[in-house]
Structure 1
Amino acid sequence: MKIPMKRTVFKVILRKSEYKEQWSLIIESFPVFVPGREKPMRKHEPLGRFVTTPIWDKNSSGRTLADGKAYYRPKRDVNGIIQCRSTIDQEACIFADKVRDIRQHEYDNQSLYTETEAEQAAQNERSKCDFIKYFEDLRDKRHQNSSKSIRVNWDREVKLMKMFTEGKPMIFSTIDMNLLEDYKNFLINAPQGGSKKGTITRNTASTYFSIFKAGLHQAFIDGYLTVDIAAKAKNIAYSDKQREYLTIDELNTLAATPCDRPIMKRASLFSALTGMRHSDIQKLKWKEIIKDGEHYRILFTQQKTKGVQYMPISDQAYQLCGERGEPDRLVFEGLQDPSWINKPLERWIKAAGITKHITFHCFRHTYATLQLTNGTDIYTVSKMLGHTKVTTTQIYAKIVDEKKEQAADTIVIATDFTT
């Protein structure tokens, strides 16, 4: 029983023309195994070249034709190239052999790897790529329509990585736990951007390292890393910081205080009553505020998380929106970016006699803190704020716990209990 060859071999053969005394040069491949067929096939590739002066090997007869004539094979040199008397024909045969060699090489390389080995070879190529370039492409793809603050953070992350590598590529194959630790230490002491002096805060460094890890995790998913190294790296721990908020009395005082930017005042108080971010309030349209029975609700997509938020608002919050406009018009038209309202907001807070450092985002803190203080459960508050994790909301719960502890120590009985 003959065992079929598993390796396909490519060979130059001659095929006689039916009408002329010439032979076409053809590349024959055999055996070729096709799915669904038990027997191997022979494939032929005409090269469009012809010869008329082949030299036949009279010592190596092939088969006898029907008319009784012997069929001879073409004579070949030590390299297997068909020999011809004509120089032009000989050059055509040399050309045909070069094509045969290319086809054999292509096939051998294609068959060289198993599927797993081929993937490994591809992964090896990916490991030579630059992570910073990959990160930039990921930023453009993922955050093209994200909020300005997110894009700014990803842009700053790119600059920090280039600063860390001194402008050189960060090759995937060089990324290991040691590099991550070095980069973490770099971020903790990284300089502030722009004209600001000093180093970034620890919490800012933690944010940038989280973004860095997000890029590494996606690179693992895309096959640039063989290990999800981001999952192994511990983040830079946040340091607790005071989250300023307004008490209900301070909020009432502020509401009664005149402000030279009415649109900013209405938007600020609206944030305190709904917990919405500045970016979401700035882009809120009238068509996103709907009446459901006796109550008003807002259906919008958060700029930061891209999550769809469906939340009820109070009548007071709706009154702060002003006169209802066309569906596609902004509710708070003319509300500027935070950088442009810092000074007017500072003047308004000072005029109300409030000495706390209050930014626009503090109105969101105020909403969360007052809700928890008044007994709203943390899971409901988390949903109202649009947090993806309740652990984020627990930051406000700590503030409430501190207030409870202070309240516990407020009542003191003037009696010596030791007697």
Structure 2
Amino acid sequence: MGKSIVTLRKKAISKGRMSLYLDFYPPVWDESLNDFSRREFLKLYIYLKPADQYQKLANAENLHAAEMIRARRQNEINKAEIYSPFEKEQLQLQARGNESFLKYYKKLGQKKEGNNLSIWNCAIRHFEIFLGGKDLLFKDVTVTLIEDFRDYLVKAKSMRKNKKQLSRNTALSYYNKIKTTLKGAYREDKLKTDINAKIGSIKELESQRSFMTIEETRRLFATPCPNDLVRKISMFSVLTGIRYVDIAKLVWSEIQYIENDGYYVIFRQKKTEGAESMPISEEAFSLLGKRRGEKELVFKGLNKWDVDRVLPVWVALSGIRKHITFHCFRHTYATLQITAGTDIFTVSKMLGHRSVKTTQVYARVIDQKKRDAANRISLD
């Protein structure tokens, strides 16, 4: 590494004066800016064209004072260059500790897309409210602080107009964003300790998942749909378990055929960002229509507003009395697979779940249905 240099420089300002400042190369950490900087303004001035003896004397005194400060700063930097590796590491940790954790959190959130970006933004906004509008430095991030934020989320109100209390699972989702940020910060050595490993979590409440039985599913698809494209993607979701967001962005290059094996959908899940290679049935493939350009959308002309408008009407026409959203087709796929005898680990992989625990809710639904069926027969 080249030697660090501190240079005294001048900058023209108002009233025929010049401001004296130091130029650091390479830049040094400035605590007042909470960032690295090449300049330190000394609040010392000289006259460009001194009008009298007093201004000449002032110039000489201020230039001398500025040079003394420059020499002192150069000595400080030179001393830093002879620190031991341990001392340098401690100085680096100290410098990182003075960086903004909140700024780092926001920067991480800005990398997200779509609905995930919206969730991150809400999570960050709640963290800002919790901090009372203040910044938070890495050195001030503690287990106690994060657990206090967890307690805040459990009782927090929604930022929507209804101002309802956040659901437990929404609070958990927001809390997981700060945990992800803590993991990244520790991995990048911005935090001295793995705070994420030391903090508690928010217990997830099992959500009620609506789905259709095989009889209801057949009845729905036997009922004429006001929009044929909505019918096709609905059937495709029931047959594959793929989410609407992934169906909507599906392009023909992601539909592949493997000799002596069959058709596959090879894509990256938008929600989890996980790469998936999913086998699909001939029936599911038949819904895709004629193959077009590799980069063209498979379901061209798809509009979420049309889906949300048509689906309730179609479900009502079929005589199904359940509240069915498009995401319920994914739940239907999972429950029908488990009902048909597919093991939970395979279903978990087919759904792209990171953990089998996420899939177990479907198994519990099926177990409850079996219990309900058993209790229907009584000889009393």
Same fold (TM over 0.5): yes
Match in the other structure for 1:238: 204
C-alpha separation in 2, matches of 1:394 and 1:217: 27
Q: Which amino acid aligns with 1:110?
A: E
Structure 2 residue aligned with 1:123, among 73, 90, 93? 93
**Alignment partner, residue 383 of structure 1:** 349
| Sequence identity percentage | 39
Equivalent-residue separation in structure 2 for 1:164 and 1:291 (angstroms): 52
Please say if 1:260 is aligned against 2:231: no
Tell me which of 277, 300, 313 is aligned to 1:333.
300
Report whether the alignment pairs 1:359 with 2:325. yes
Q: Shift of the alpha carbon at 1:292? A: 2.6
Kindly state the Cα deviation for residue 224 of structure 1 after the two structures are TM-superposed.
2.0
Residue 9 of structure 1: aligned partner: none
Give, in whole Å, the separation in 2 of the partners of 1:106 and 1:162.
36
Corresponding residue number in structure 1 for 2:239: 273
The structural deviation recorded for 1:96 is 11
Return the offset for 1:275. 0.5
2-structure distance, mates of 1:277, 1:319: 18
Q: Which residue of 2 aligns with 1:135?
A: 105
Figure out how many residues of one structure are paired with residues of the other and give that number: 315
**Mapping of residues 172-321 of structure 1, within 5 Å:** 172-293=138-259, 295-321=262-288
Q: Which moved more, 1:190-199 or 1:205-214?
A: 190-199
Instruction: Please name the residue that 1:394 is paired with.
Output: 360
Q: Which structure has the greater CA radius of gyration?
A: 1
1:50 is matched with which residue? none
Equivalent residue letter for 1:134: Y
Amino acid at match of 1:306: E
CA contact (8 A) 2:80 2:88 kept: no
- Per the TM alignment, residue 308 of structure 1 is displaced from its structure 2 partner at its CA by 2.0
CA distance in structure 1 between the partners assigned to 2:275 and 2:204 by the alignment:
28
Structure 1 residues 325-353: Cα deviation after superposition (integer angstroms, max 9, x where no partner):
2222111112223x663232222222222
Report runs of 4+ in structure 1 exceeding 6 Å deviation.
Answer: 95-102
Relative to structure 1, the CA distance from residue 284 to residue 104 in structure 2 (aligned partners, 3 Å threshold; closer, same or farther) is closer
CA distance in 2, matches of 1:132, 1:267: 41
Residue identity in the other structure for 1:307: G
Q: Deviations over 1:285-310 (max 9, x none)?
A: 12221223463221222222222211
Amino acid at match of 1:179: L
> Could you tell me how far apart the structure 2 residues matched to 1:101 and 1:232 are?
43
SS of residue paired to 2:110 = helix
Find the aligned partners of 2:192 and 2:273 in 1 and give their Cα distance: 30
Distance 1:376 1:293, change over 3 A: same
Aligned pair in 2 of structure 1 residues 103, 329: CA closer, same or farther (>3 Å)? closer
Considering only aligned residues, what root-mean-square deviation do their CA atoms show, in Å?
2.4
In 1, distance between residues paired with 2:279 and 2:348? 14
Between the aligned partners of 2:376 and 2:180, the Cα distance in structure 1 is 46
C-alpha contact (below 8 Å) 2:211/2:331 kept by paired residues: yes
Q: Give how far 1:384 is off.
A: 0.9
Structure 1: which 5+ residue stretches go unaligned?
1-94, 415-419
2:291 alignment partner in structure 1: 324
Change (3 A) 1:407 1:171: same
Return the alpha-carbon distance in structure 2 between the equivalents of residues 188 and 204 of structure 1: 9
Shift of 1:226: 1.1
Measured against aligned partners, the alpha-carbon deviations of 1:135-181 in whole angstroms (never above 9, x if no partner) come to: 1112234x3xx4x1211111111111111112211222222222122
Gap change, CA 1:153 and 1:259, over 3 Å in 2: same
| Partner AA of 1:207 in structure 2 | S
Matches of 2:73 and 2:118 in 1, distance apart? 51
CA deviation after TM superposition for structure 1 residue 105, in Å? 4.7
CA gap 1:249/1:292 in 2 versus in 1, 3 angstroms: same
Equivalent residue in structure 2 for 1:164, among 112, 124, 130? 130
- The residue type paired with residue 234 of structure 1 is G
